[in-house]
Each structure stands twice: as C-alpha cells, then as structure tokens.
Structure 1
Amino acid sequence: MAEFVLVAGAWLGSWAWDEVVPELRAGGHGAHALTLSGLAEKRGVPAGQQTHVADIVGEVERLDLRDVVLVGHSYSGVPVGQAAERIGDRLAHVVFVDSNVPVDGESFASRAVEAAIAENGGFWAVPAAADFAGQDLTDEQIAHFLDRSTPHPGAPLTEPARLSRPLGELPTTYVKCLLDWPRPSDDVVELLKSERWRLVEMDTGHWPMFSRPQELARILCEAAAR
C-alpha cells in the first residue's frame, strides 16, 4: 500500500485534507497531511520556497516513508515537484491536483500576485467569498475555508524553483479541475507528452478536497496503483 503525503495550496494547512485522509486510510493506505511553514498552525514560522521543499522532504524522512505518493494542490505543486526528485527511491508517484508545476529558475507568482503581496505587507491575502463563485463549493464550505485560512507568506511564491532533472521523467498523474479552467497550462500540456504522465479530469472546481473528497480519494488511490 502507498504512503500519501498531502500538501494543500495557498492559504491552507493540513486541515484541508480532513475529508480525504479517512477515505485513503479506509483503502488501506497511509495518509499524512502536511502544513507548510508559515501557514495554519505554523503561522509566523519564517518560510521561503526551499523551506517548503524541505518541509516535504523532512516529513518523508522523519516518518521513514517508502512507496510515497506526493500530492500537491495549486501552489504546493511547485515545492512538491521539487521534493519529488529529492526523495529518491522513496518516491512511487506524484499527483498534481489542479496545480502549478515547478519550472527551473521561475517562480509561482505572476506580476499581479507580486503586486498583491507588496500591497499586503509581504503576504498574499486570503480571497474574498465572491472569488469562489462557480467553484462547486457550498456557502458553508466557503465559510469554512475563509474561517481557517491564513495569509500566505510571499517569499515562497516569488522565489525561483530549482530542478536538477526534467519533471517529465517522474511518474505523474495530473488532475485537472474543469470548472476552474478547462485546459491545463501550456507547461503542463508539454509535460503530458511524456509517457510517464497521465491526465485525469474532474468536473468540479479548484478545491476538490472540499467539493468532491471521495472522488478525489478514488483518483489518488488509482494513481498509487499505477
């Protein structure tokens, strides 16, 4: 059975996976949700992008995990993709959930995000409720998101990724959430040409761990079996 290490995107902590973890464990897998430095219960801990990579690698090593499936959602795909090549033969599979992927020498943040961080004291502010429109979330789920989220440290978003080998060499499943945007980004489209990459689509919004946790868990289990 696989050992899942689950890392949610911007503003979120390990709590974002609360409805997915029991589904994975019910299937006989290990499931370890991780909060990155500077977020949720680790709010105030200094963080850069390589700190987030080290958070993920350190969790795998601390728990001495093998047959690891690294799962990165949204922003966290950037540190997860870097961590995947650093855990060596512990890695079984990578799953990017509607996420960005690391590009060597490039950062996550667009100019608009950089400007928003600069205007908010070095943090990316949590979105407003209206920003979740059309994302397959109930009012209750949106309220839960906003109640528990924390502003995201700016440095991990603006610092460049560091890769030592092509990302296309990693055994990978990319999960595209169609309500967020129907087509993967150009860099993901290029990576999907690799025989080691596979595309799975979900008819939901950008946060499937809230909107479709059971379906997402099933897709993760199927990825682990590949």
Structure 2
Amino acid sequence: MTSFVLVAGAWLGAWAWDDVVKGLRDGGHVAHPLTLSGLAEKRDAPAGPGTHVRDIVDEVERLGLRDVVLVGHSYAGVPVGQAAERIGDRLRRVVLVDANVPVDGESFLSGWPSDPVREAIAAHDGVWPPPDPAGFAGQGLTDEQVTRLLAGATSHPGGTLVEPAVLPRPLGELPGTYIKCLLDGEEPWGAAAELLQSERWNLVGLDTGHWPMFSRPRELARILEAPAGEG
C-alpha cells in the first residue's frame, strides 16, 4: 500500500492538505500530512540547519513507512528532495508540486529574484511573514479559500530559507514527478527545467495556481495516486 507523506510550502502546516488527504484516503491510500518545525502547531519548535529534512526523515522512520511517495509543495521541495535520498529503499517516488528544486550547495532563495524575501526576513526578526490577500491574486483561489489559507498561516522561520541544500547525488537520479501549476507560469524553469531532463522524471500540468491543495484538491489527489503521477 502506498504511503503519502505530504509537506506544504512556506507559512503552512499539515492542515493545508486536509482536502487532498481525504481524496487519497477515499482511494484507499495511506496519507500523512506533516507540519515542519517552526510552523503551525509547531511554531515554537526551533528550526536550525537541517531541521526540516530531519522532520521528514524522522516521520517516515517513526511510522515505519514503506513504498513512500514524498510530496513537497513550493518551499518544501527543498527539504523533501533532500529527505528522499535519506530514506533509501523506503522511497517509491518524489512528487514536487510547483516546488523549488534542491540543488547541492544552494538555498531556497538561490536562483530567483529573492531580495524582497531577504528584506522581509531582516525586517521581521528573522521570519518571513505571510503575504496580504492581494498576494494571492490570479492564482485560481476564491476569496473564501484565501481567507482560509491566511487564517492558518504562520510566519516562516527565515533560517530554513537561506541554508544550503546537501545532496549526495542529483535528485534526477531518483524517480519523480513535477506538477506545474499553470497559472503560476506555464513552463518549469531553472533547476526544475534541468531536473525534468532526467528520464526518471515526468511533468504534469495542472490548470490552477500555486496553491492547488486549496483550489483543486480533488484533481491534485488524482494526480498523486496515479501510478507515475500521470495527469
């Protein structure tokens, strides 16, 4: 039986996957949404170097999971991609949902115009605060969904955004699927585009914005449970 471990991006916790988890469990799968240290109900937990990678690996080992699909959304692609190597033969595949791709020696903030994020972290005592509602415009979300998202959002520990990834081998050597949310740009770019040159990775487009667990949870669940993440 496939076990899904789902990790949301910046500002979000396990709760963000509620609708996707229901879809997966209705399909007979095991689904474990995970909150990373420093966020949501774990907001008081320290998040130092490597903490988020250990959060994921420890959860897989604590639950004794096998045949694991590690799912990382947005920021969480960076720790999920690093954790995938560390869980060894427990891994079935990696799924990155409109996510940043880890590159050895590079951080989440590498490779894109991230100066505004760095400035926000510096201005808010080392954390990255959630955006205001206008920051979700054009992403396929209803006003109700934006309200729900922001009601549960917490500031993200800034240190996790600047620490370099550690990858013993390129992520493209592991099996995986990249889900591109088309309202957030039609084509993968940068490290994601390079990752998809691997024969072990496939690309699936989803006609929604950057937060599909809110805007298209049923469609996202169906893609996740497909044998190789086909749309």
Query: What residue number does 2:219 align with?
Result: 215
Unmatched runs of 5 consecutive residues or more in structure 1:
none
Query: What residue number does 2:125 align with?
Result: 121
Q: How does 1:1-226 map to 2 (within 5 A)?
A: 1-109=1-109, 110-223=114-227
- Cα distance between partner residues in 1 of 2:124 and 2:185: 27
Q: CA deviation at 1:111?
A: 2.6
Identity level (%): 69
- Cα distance between partner residues in 2 of 1:209 and 1:8: 9
The DSSP-based 3-state class of the residue aligned with 1:32 is strand
TM-score calculated relative to the size of structure 1:
0.97
AA of the residue aligned to 1:182: E
Go from structure 1 to structure 2 and tell me whether the alpha carbon gap of 1:195 and 1:100 turns closer, same or farther (over 3 Å shift).
Answer: same
AA of the residue aligned to 2:192: V
The DSSP-based 3-state class of the residue aligned with 1:104 is coil
Q: CA deviation at 1:186?
A: 1.8
Q: CA deviation at 1:115?
A: 1.5
AA of the residue aligned to 1:11: W
AA of the residue aligned to 2:115: R
- Cα distance between partner residues in 2 of 1:157 and 1:193: 26
Partners of 1:49 and 1:157 within 8 A in 2? no
AA of the residue aligned to 1:66: R
**Moved runs in structure 1, 4+ residues, more than 6 A?**
none
Partners of 2:223 and 2:229 within 8 A in 1? no
Quote the RMSD (CA, aligned, Å): 1.1
Partner deviation per Cα, 1:133-157 (whole Å, 9 max, x = no partner): 0101010010111111000000000
The DSSP-based 3-state class of the residue aligned with 1:175 is strand
Q: CA deviation at 1:48?
A: 2.7
- Cα distance between partner residues in 2 of 1:43 and 1:149: 10
- Cα distance between partner residues in 2 of 1:225 and 1:157: 27
Choose 117-126 or 178-187, whichever is displaced more.
Answer: 178-187
Equivalent pairs counted in the alignment come to: 226
- Cα distance between partner residues in 2 of 1:124 and 1:3: 31
Partners of 1:49 and 1:79 within 8 A in 2? no
Q: CA deviation at 1:189?
A: 1.1
AA of the residue aligned to 1:34: L
The DSSP-based 3-state class of the residue aligned with 1:19 is helix
AA of the residue aligned to 1:58: D
TM-score calculated relative to the size of structure 2:
0.95
Partners of 2:16 and 2:214 within 8 A in 1? yes
Partners of 1:174 and 1:197 within 8 A in 2? yes
- Cα distance between partner residues in 2 of 1:14 and 1:27: 19
Unmatched runs of 5 consecutive residues or more in structure 2:
none
Q: CA deviation at 1:225?
A: 7.2
Partners of 1:78 and 1:101 within 8 A in 2? yes
AA of the residue aligned to 2:157: P
Q: CA deviation at 1:191?
A: 1.3
- Cα distance between partner residues in 2 of 1:168 and 1:210: 28
Partner deviation per Cα, 1:162-215 (whole Å, 9 max, x = no partner): 000111101000000010111112211111111100000001000000000000
AA of the residue aligned to 1:95: V
